[in-house]
């Protein structure tokens, strides 16, 4: 038996009643939460973690992340979605070898655990061969987190790769059920009226696995794709619609009526241009929400960012819309408590894992995060715990993380991560990509042209600082 006891924390259970327990202990025995309460007795040999001054919460759940792209962390910081598509889909994504997928996945997986994200959907659309897929799973299985492999391949139509015998063979060989490695099929529906994606949906139905799809992406996927899915009976409660940002009421009604959920990637939607982060639309239509980080080619894989930017985007739009009507918002719709729920229960519900993870309740699997940082002036006072998680806490405040009962981060340090090896593997991938593309193309890809900005004519007179006389001079031309 192994046991971990979090002692004397502010416990956000995220159970159905969102019970908050100050000064409480959380006892983990083997892979389960055994007990939550005040003054629990530690079993012999338990690892005790002093949670005084900290927040104990469920592990967070990211429902859409292209983990293979983490090998290019930050490369696309100034990209639009168009530049992303050109780079990965059209020009350079095909260069990735199985070992490159592996390197990116391992890095992304540890990054998630470091940030308290205990379950991540690896939206793995760079699987050009099943050797790539084996490498992706090898990587995920080498890291003690909970993952869902969402199998995809942007170099082929989904009706092609999903029909290949080696795909079926891969699923039989590597996907065994169990809740440490789940499985989805990941592909997009273009809206082509002949609906070639139908064959891939049939494979998913045959295998009994959910489909996750980038929907409502400006310029790429639209209402036609949703309508085709719906008319053919492929919209299910297990379907996860990623972004769902540029859709009409009709599509949102179809999603709501069939019980699906939306994975909102606010940072992605804001920078890349899939459409305005749709939480306001999802609220109006009663559609369940989970959160995601999309890809570390732009953003880091922590859900503190997702919670913060999602609150900001929703509120920003609400204020803007009111100001256009010459009105003032005096009460906000979206609350910090709601985004913490989306980062935990939203994910467990979307993935069909809500009976096992997503909240701290006796009997559930033990995915537990302690936010505590005695060296940080931002960790006190904790007056509004949900607000603290969403707007104050950051990755460096993740003190300890338990996944399936196992300590994977302890006192701010990852347990068992060989970072020098992970770094060396990623460096080899980067060197290979630079050599394959050529250094000029590599540099150009990272530095897109900036459109010209023309400063407006200004009816007022400019003021300039005159260094010679050390005075402001007026009317300078
Ligand atoms: Zn995506």
For residue 430, the CA-to-ligand 1 centroid distance in Å is: 21
| pLDDT, tens digit, 9 for 90 and up, residues 164-207 | 999 999 999 999 988 899 999 999 999 999 999 999 999 999 99
For residue 272, the CA-to-ligand 1 centroid distance in Å is: 11
For residue 439, the CA-to-ligand 1 centroid distance in Å is: 27
Q: What is the DSSP code string of 306-362?
A: HHHHHHHHHHHHHHHHHHHTT----S-S--HHHHHHIIIIIHHHHTT-TTTSSS--T
Whether residue 474 is predicted with pLDDT greater than 90 in this model: the reply is no
For residue 122, the CA-to-ligand 1 centroid distance in Å is: 10
pLDDT of residue 100: 98
pLDDT of residue 120: 98
| pLDDT, tens digit, 9 for 90 and up, residues 404-423 | 999 999 999 999 999 999 99
For residue 373, the CA-to-ligand 1 centroid distance in Å is: 32
pLDDT of residue 464: 87
For residue 28, the CA-to-ligand 1 centroid distance in Å is: 34
CB-count exposure of residue 279 (10 Å: 0-12, 13-18, 19+)? buried
pLDDT of residue 473: 82
For residues 366-378, give the mean pLDDT: 97
Whether residue 456 is predicted with pLDDT greater than 70 in this model: the reply is yes
Whether residue 476 is predicted with pLDDT greater than 70 in this model: the reply is no
Read off the pLDDT band of 475 (50, 70, 90).
Answer: low
For residue 348, the CA-to-ligand 1 centroid distance in Å is: 19
Whether residue 436 is predicted with pLDDT greater than 70 in this model: the reply is yes
Whether residue 262 is predicted with pLDDT greater than 80 in this model: the reply is yes
For residues 329-350, give the mean pLDDT: 98
For residue 292, the CA-to-ligand 1 centroid distance in Å is: 9
For residue 82, the CA-to-ligand 1 centroid distance in Å is: 13
- Which whole-number Å values give the CA distances from 315 to 274, 294, 304, 309, 419, in the listed order? 19, 22, 17, 10, 39
For residue 145, the CA-to-ligand 1 centroid distance in Å is: 21
For residues 262-286, give the mean pLDDT: 98
For residues 146-171, give the mean pLDDT: 98
pLDDT of residue 461: 86
| pLDDT, tens digit, 9 for 90 and up, residues 107-142 | 999 999 999 999 999 999 999 999 999 999 999 999
Q: Give the whole-angstrom CA distance, residue 301 versus residue 295.
A: 7
For residue 294, the CA-to-ligand 1 centroid distance in Å is: 5
For residue 103, the CA-to-ligand 1 centroid distance in Å is: 19
């Amino acid at each position: 038996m192994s046991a971990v006891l979090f002692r004397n924390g502010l416990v956000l259970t995220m159970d159905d009643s969102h019970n908050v327990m100050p000064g409480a202990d959380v006892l983990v025995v083997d892979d389960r939460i055994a007990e939550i309460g005040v003054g629990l007795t530690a079993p012999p040999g338990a690892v005790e973690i002093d949670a005084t001054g900290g927040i104990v919460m469920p592990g967070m759940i990211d429902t859409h992340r292209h983990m293979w792209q983490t090998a290019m962390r930050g490369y696309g910081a100034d990209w639009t979605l168009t530049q992303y598509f050109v780079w990965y889909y059209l020009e350079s994504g095909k260069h990735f070898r199985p070992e490159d997928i592996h390197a990116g996945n391992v890095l992304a997986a540890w990054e998630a655990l470091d940030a308290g994200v205990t379950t991540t959907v690896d939206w793995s659309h760079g699987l050009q061969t099943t050797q790539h897929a084996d490498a992706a799973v090898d990587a995920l299985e080498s890291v003690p987190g909970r993952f869902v492999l969402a199998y995809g391949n942007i170099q082929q139509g989904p009706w092609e790769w999903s029909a290949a015998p080696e795909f079926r063979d891969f699923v039989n060989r590597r996907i065994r059920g169990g809740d440490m490695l789940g499985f989805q099929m990941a592909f997009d529906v273009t809206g082509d009226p002949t609906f070639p994606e139908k064959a891939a949906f049939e494979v998913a139905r045959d295998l009994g696995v959910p489909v996750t799809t980038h929907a409502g992406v400006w310029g790429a996927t639209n209402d036609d794709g949703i309508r085709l899915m719906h008319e053919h009976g492929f919209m299910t409660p297990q379907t996860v619609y990623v972004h769902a940002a540029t859709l009409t009421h009709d599509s949102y009604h179809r999603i709501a009526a069939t019980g699906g959920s939306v994975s909102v990637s606010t940072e992605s939607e804001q920078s890349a241009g899939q459409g305005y982060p749709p939480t306001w639309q999802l609220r109006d239509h009663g559609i369940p929400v989970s959160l995601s980080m999309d890809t570390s080619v732009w953003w880091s894989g922590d859900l503190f960012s997702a919670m913060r930017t999602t609150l900001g985007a929703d509120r920003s739009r609400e204020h803007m819309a009111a100001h256009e009507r010459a009105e003032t918002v005096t009460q906000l719709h979206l609350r910090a408590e709601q985004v913490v729920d989306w980062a935990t229960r939203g994910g467990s519900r979307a993935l069909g894992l809500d009976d096992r993870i997503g909240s701290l309740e006796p009997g559930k699997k033990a995915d537990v995060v302690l936010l505590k940082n005695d060296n940080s002036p931002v960790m006190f006072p904790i007056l509004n715990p949900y607000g603290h998680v969403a707007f104050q806490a950051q990755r460096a405040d993740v003190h300890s993380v338990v996944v399936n009962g196992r300590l994977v981060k302890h006192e701010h340090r990852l347990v068992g991560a060989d970072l020098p090896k992970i770094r060396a593997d990623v460096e080899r991938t980067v060197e290979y990509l630079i050599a394959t593309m050529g250094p000029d193309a590599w540099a150009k890809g990272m530095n897109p042209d900036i459109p010209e900005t023309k400063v407006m004519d200004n009816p007022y007179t400019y003021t300039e600082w005159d260094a010679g006389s050390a005075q402001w001079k007026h009317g300078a031309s």
